Amino acid sequence: MYGWAEEVAGEILTSLGLRDRMFIATKVWTQGRERGIAQMRESMRKLRVDRIDLMQVHNLVDAATHLDTLRQWKAERLIRYIGVTHYSDQSHADVARVLRQEPLDFVQINYSVAERAAEQTILPIAADRGVAVIANRPLVAGAALGPLTGRPVPAWASEIGCTTWSQLLLKFVVSHPAITCAIPATSSPDHLLDNMQAAFGPMPDESLREKIARAATGR
C-alpha cells in the first residue's frame, strides 16, 4: 500500500540505531486470517523489528478477523497496541460501532478544519473509552491550504507561535482534547519542517480553535 516506505524506514531505523527512540505504527489491509498474518509478518521483516508498537486494521477491512489475531499477538507481546483506521466521514458510523464493541487502544480517523464530523461521533466515544486518536488528513491532503494560498496568516497567529497556515491548521487539530497526534503526509522536506513547528509553542484554547476554523474556512 505504501510502496517502499516500510523497507526505507527499516533501513533508517537500523543504520542509525533509532529503534528504541521510535514509535512504529503500520497497518494490515487484506481479507482473511492467514493473509493478514502473512502481511503483518512481512511488515515486521521490512521494518526489521520483532515487535510493532501499533498495528491498525486499515479501513476496517475484515476487522473482526484481524482484531482477533491482534488480541492474541498483543498477549504474546508481538505488538503493544491495537487500532482501526478510516479516512471517510461516510464510514464514521461503522468506526463508532467498532469503537464501542472492541477493546481498542487507538483509532485513526480524518479530522481537520474542513472535516469536523468526527467531533460529533468518534472523538467523544474515544475520549469516554480512553482510546488514543490519530488524526489523518489534518490538512485534507493539502486541499485545506489551497484556498489560503497568498493570504497572510492572521496577526493573532503569533499568539500561539504560528507563522504559516499549515502550522495554524495543525495546531487546530492537535489541540482538541481527544486528539493524540496528527499525521500530515508530505513528500517535501520543506513542508515537513514547517509542519513540525506546530509541535512547539502554546496551543489554542477552544475559543481560538473556532477562530482558526472561521479564518481558514469562512464558516
Q: For residue 55, what are the contacts with CB-CB under 8 A and spacing of at least 6?
A: 25, 26, 27, 28, 40, 70, 73, 79, 81, 82, 83
Res. 46: pLDDT tops 80: yes
Checking if the pLDDT of 185 tops 90, the result is no
Q: Over 90: is that where the pLDDT of 55 sits? A: yes
| Mean local confidence (pLDDT), 157-183 | 97
Examine the pLDDT at 82 and tell me if it is beyond 90.
yes
pLDDT over threshold 90, residue 1: no
29-44 average pLDDT score: 97
Q: State pLDDT tens for residues 85-136.
A: 999 999 999 999 999 999 999 999 999 999 999 999 999 999 999 999 999 9
pTM, full prediction: 0.94
Give the Cα separation of 60 and 42 in Å (integer).
Answer: 20
Contacts of residue 161, Cβ cutoff 8 Å, sequence gap at least 6 = 167, 197, 200, 201, 202
pLDDT in the model for residue 152: 95
Map residue 49 onto helix, strand or coil.
coil
- pLDDT at res. 3: 86
Helix (H) / strand (E) containing 108: strand 106-110
Is the Cβ–Cβ distance between 28 and 41 less than 8 Å?
no
